[in-house]
């Protein structure tokens, strides 16, 4: 998985988690923002790890 794709996947997962937490707590705005940021950070880390583990062409 390339870097951009993993960041997008992390941000999308974060948006979904943020929406669920926000709906449960009744304050959706901050949760979506926080979870998108965390998801993008996790996606960035996963993308860097995948690039480090893959052999160079």
The pair of structure tokens assigned to 50 is 């995948």
Q: Where along the chain do its domains lie?
A: 3-51
pLDDT digits (tens, 9 = 90+) for 2-49: 667 888 999 999 999 999 999 999 999 999 999 999 999 999 998 888
Contact 45, 6 (CB under 8 A): no
Contact 50, 6 (CB under 8 A): yes
Q: What's residue 2's pLDDT?
A: 67
pTM value surpassing 0.85: no
In this predicted structure, the answer to whether residue 57 has a pLDDT above a threshold of 70 is no
Q: What's residue 10's pLDDT?
A: 92
């Amino acid at each position: 998985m390339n870097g951009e794709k993993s960041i997008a996947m992390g941000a999308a997962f974060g948006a979904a988690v943020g929406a669920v937490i926000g709906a449960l707590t009744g304050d959706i705005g901050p949760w979506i923002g926080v979870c998108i940021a965390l998801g993008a950070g996790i996606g960035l880390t996963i993308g860097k790890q995948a690039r480090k583990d893959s052999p160079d062409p």
